[in-house]
Amino acid sequence: MSQPVFFAHANGFPSATYSKLFCALAPEFSVAHLEQHAHDPRFPVDDNWLNLVDELLHHLREQPGPVWGVGHSLGGVLHLHAALRCPELYRGV
């Protein structure tokens, strides 16, 4: 059974940019991801990216269980802040 990963992309690089990485991780890992951060009006960009952390947490709560949080640049920072706020949603970062 594959381990769940939730991938968060870097600023300016939508998740589709990483499709080769996602394929390389299979079948050991199943990768879920948000197509583009900061495009949902419920989570507008603010100082220090706090609303983007809220956006990530919103999507993590929709996962069937804890995930490995993997991110590139901004995505890694979002996972770090999200894991500090809600560690129960993570297997690790």
Domain of 76 in residue numbering reads as: 3-92
Q: What is the DSSP letter of 9?
A: P
Query: What span, in angstroms and rounded, lies between the C-alpha atoms of 80 and 35?
Result: 19
Residue numbers of the chain with a pLDDT score lower than 50: none
pTM (two decimals): 0.93
pLDDT in tens, 8-18: 999 989 999 99
Domains in the chain, number: 1
CATH of the domain at 7: 3.40.50.1820
Alpha-carbon dihedral of residues 41, 89, 53, 24, nearest 10 degrees? -90
